[in-house]
Chain A
């Protein structure tokens, strides 16, 4: 029985707070923790399947053109090599998040250097990998593919454009103004588990063990790619070794494994090499961002301009949504926002953790620091002064808004000195030491979601959905939500995720997982509660459940009469999204040291304060915040994709030369979770937290670099060469 709930108005009842089990929000350890720490959690490539052949993708060595021939004889003559597959259904890019249809296919048409064009299958991995180097591939090269986003005429993303008032006039009339341009380099998700799939056919039924974030979309994307019915496909992703956007859409190895397994009549595993993960999946676009900000004498914004240039391949709909939070974070009646996309032939641009704000917020918040200096006020004060009452463009109310509290609590806990700020005030040996801060903002998303909850006669509950847990804590929070609602200890709740045989969840992405699937579980549990209440002949509101018993003493097991009690919850966001602007907010504070000789910058300590609705598990939510702050350090200091200027190939496609932060880059971090209930965000009053923690943090570090050393750098990441170039003597 499916119970449908569509949220059309705010829910102030905060029902979870009325429950008696007392586990919601608790800092419980992860239910799958022991499996992860003992190496017994099974990831996509690790299913033990008999007679499994090994496939390795072959990638193009040209930028644009056609594969005219593949001479496979030499490869097929090699020991163990079974097949060379160049089926036109092979996909050449990963699907964008929520695409719901197959990405680009026809592998003979090459659009970027490193694009998959074929698959070699052999008995062993070493045989297959070696054979990929023995194919004689001929191309017809189409010269002149544009590669530099700054040399093509970009397309305007019109739905992002805002012209409100007259910004140019406001800038010229304002007491204080800044007009600054920032750049950010491309980023890679670089999830630790490479993309992997094992495909296995049983007649016309296909099972794929894969590493994917959104099975609910991936199943239709795969079905579309293979021209199959969804009902004939099963996807399994019980453990996902990190996603960060890179596994939102069906990726090339899953489609290739499926095609090969069918053709060969035996299971096939395809695991991307690390280099292929870098080249064939998604990059976050580089950006160029112009910020124009102006205020009156007191520092109140009168104008706000944010224009950004990003890039992607021709035909890709995704454009890094740089301006997403700029639309509502600060006031200023004269507004100019514009997003442009340059069509170039670098690898596909798509979602990487916190698409948009991950790079838009650092630029905006670095510009705000320049503005604070120009106005001559404390940068915390400047933010507090400019928090709008309502969305300054659409006039919508905010569903909840904790920016001011985050700024104040963060400043207090960090020990922020609100006195006059001047750069280069503190030196410790070779190091200049300083502090910086920034606001955090990330739009809140929710998605429809389904989950089935079954109360079992043995006194346990089972939660089933094809939702994934990519490290965010989904297994654990769902056991807490169901446990709270049904009066069970969470260890009596079994959560079964990552299997499309279960009801469709929302998928993990856009920080929407917890609020969306949590709401579906909540809706299902609410329906079970109603059934239990009716069996007890009481109102649901009067039903007190805890530790397997109703308040009146009856055991839940006795009410089941030996039978399962199952409900499927179907949560739909509803019209409420049109009535409110919903976002997570926060503040970052950082202390940074900059070497006066070498320009090396190191973060000494960092704090983030965040408001994101109800906290479902203080341990896993805090971890999400820590992860976000850690990514902020990468954006600020180390991470940059480098592309060859002549053929656009990714020059640093590995973890030695693409510098994700290492342990030593990350100091002790403090997290403050500003507890709130957001009645419009979801029926469980929770918002997302997977991304907020990195939306602006890089600016706190950039601003601290300036405060420490006097180097005002306008390019992220702030590597020693750039800091030195900007450092006064």
Chain B
């Protein structure tokens, strides 16, 4: 690690002031940041420890939803009685990620900001436009098994690696952000992460000095909630493809089909056209295929990850089949 000064922020204002400097960073759980600092992928000159500024509560909101503190750990969130009862897709997604030790330390805010696992991003002696703008993308003509098939650019084909945010996207959760001027703003999870475009270094919409304070979940949405993660070993591996699904049927037809996909793009992938294709229709393999056609219309592989296109289709089938079975 590069030397840095360490300060423990007492208040959010403290923290916000510190991280307004673009060479400073906030540290909460640290499970991703310290990993990258040891590799010198991240080289902050100052760390503001925000673990004791509050924002760790999980509490009911006025509209019957749930506010999950940014500094609550992944574990506290996954095992919270209301999350388990009302938002099981979120519990399931969190429990499918990482390990108990990591989830015990990782915070919700940090998890949203988790950086890609692209092999070229984590190796500072290789080109990466995300890490070093203009140096090129090592993955495009290199080893790209983990990489994206949707929303890529000629600058970057990395994926967002997390699981929790995929479920939050299906739930249409909102990210609460404290702004550097002491105010706040709200951004839907679906809009929080960016596509790489020409600015692959920009992974989310946070501005300098901004800090996530909470994630709010809508009033319980019911339905059958599933999280399916396909991976190369049975635990402790990043998703090749994952699907978060909230599905409801009425009179044998889909009345709700909120689906989000992990492992396929630079952000949790949510395409409203997929729900449009399903709602009002009776489940059938042909219908699932049409939904997959829409989802994957613009999918592009880079050789090694070509398999993700059929895998995403098949996983969508698996999830919808299971959801229909459980719903009926």
Contact = CB atoms under 8 A, between A and B. Distances in A.
Contact of B311 (A649, A652, A724): A724
A163 interface: no
A662 interface: yes
Contacts of B222: none
Interface in B199-237: 230-237
Interface stretch (A14-22, A551-559, A640-648): A640-648
Interface stretch (B21-29, B171-179, B314-322): B314-322
A184 to B, nearest CB: 16
B281 interface: no
A659 B318 contact: no
A465 B50 CA distance: 54
Contact of A597 (B236, B237, B318): B318
Interface string A645-686: 110010110001101011111000000000000000000000
Contacts of B234: 600, 602, 662, 664-665
Contact of A646 (B117, B141, B235, B237): B141
Contacts of A646: 141-142
B252 interface: no
B6 interface: no
Contact of A657 (B40, B119, B142, B240): B119
Interface in A597-628: 597-600, 602
A130 B3 contact: yes
A598 B311 CA distance: 6
B142 A724 contact: no
A61 interface: yes
B314 A598 contact: yes
Interface string B1-27: 111000000000000000000000000
B233 A652 contact: no
B126 A649 contact: yes
Q: Of B146, B230, B317, which is in contact with the most chain A CB atoms at under 10 Å from its CB?
A: B230
A665 B233 CA distance: 7
A536 interface: no
B143 interface: yes
B311 A720 contact: yes
A202 interface: no
Contacts of A656: 117, 238
A92 interface: no
A602 B237 CA distance: 14
Interface in A688-724: 719-721, 724
B145 interface: yes
Nearest to A725: B307
A211 B34 CA distance: 27
Contacts of B310: 724
A661 B233 contact: yes
Nearest to A657: B119
A472 interface: no
Nearest to A656: B117
B157 to A, nearest CB: 14
A600 B242 CA distance: 13
B57 to A, nearest CB: 31
A638 interface: yes
A644 B235 contact: no
B138 interface: yes
A659 B238 CA distance: 11
Given A133-B40, A642-B143, A657 B117 contact: yes
B126 A721 contact: no
Interface residues of A, number: 36
Nearest to A133: B40
B125 interface: yes
Contacts of A663: 235
Nearest to A719: B232
A645 B142 contact: yes
B125 to A, nearest CB: 4
Q: Of A652, A659, A665, A720, which is in contact with the most chain B CB atoms at under 10 Å from its CB?
A: A720
A662 B235 contact: yes
Interface in B124-146: 124-126, 138, 141-143, 145-146
Contacts of A662: 233-236
Given A597-B315, A724-B314, A644 B233 contact: no
A721 B145 CA distance: 10
A292 interface: no
Contacts of B240: 720-721
A263 interface: no
A556 B112 CA distance: 71
B117 A652 contact: no
Given A126-B1, A642-B145, A721-B311, A652 B317 contact: no
A649 B318 CA distance: 37
Contacts of A720: 230, 232, 240, 307, 311
Contact of A659 (B2, B3, B38, B232): B232
Given A598-B315, A598-B318, A646-B141, A721 B1 contact: no
A720 B141 CA distance: 22
Interface string B138-166: 10011101100000000000000000000
Contacts of A126: 1
Interface string B232-255: 111111101000000000000000
B163 to A, nearest CB: 15
A430 interface: yes
Contacts of A644: 126, 138, 142-143
Interface in B248-275: none
Interface in B267-321: 307, 310-311, 314-315, 317-318
Given A644-B142, A720-B311, A721-B307, A129 B1 contact: yes
Q: Of B141, B235, B314, which is in contact with the most chain A CB atoms at under 10 Å from its CB?
A: B314
Given A597-B318, A659-B232, A61 B311 contact: no
A665 B236 CA distance: 10
Contacts of B311: 598-599, 720-721, 724
A642 B311 CA distance: 21
A493 B143 CA distance: 54
A659 B146 CA distance: 13
A362 to B, nearest CB: 18
Nearest to B35: A656
Nearest to B231: A600
A661 B230 CA distance: 16
A642 B3 CA distance: 33
Contacts of A657: 117, 119, 146
A336 to B, nearest CB: 34
A637 interface: yes
A133 B1 CA distance: 10
Given A133-B40, A662-B234, A597 B119 contact: no
Nearest to B3: A130
Nearest to A661: B233
A659 B1 CA distance: 26
A651 B143 contact: yes
B19 to A, nearest CB: 22
A600 B236 CA distance: 15
Given A130-B2, A659-B237, A597 B317 contact: yes
Interface string B175-193: 0000000000000000000
Nearest to A722: B307
A430 to B, nearest CB: 6
Contact of A638 (B117, B126, B232): B232
A353 B310 CA distance: 35
B318 A651 contact: no
A664 B3 CA distance: 39
Contacts of A643: 143
Given A430-B318, A598-B315, A724-B314, A637 B233 contact: yes
5 contacts: A61-B125, A646-B141, A659-B232, A664-B233, A720-B230
Given A637-B232, A664-B234, A721-B240, 12 more contacts: A129-B38, A130-B40, A600-B230, A637-B233, A638-B232, A657-B146, A662-B236, A664-B233, A665-B233, A719-B232, A720-B240, A724-B311
7 interchain residue pairs of minimum CB distance: A721-B307, A597-B318, A664-B235, A61-B125, A664-B234, A651-B143, A597-B314
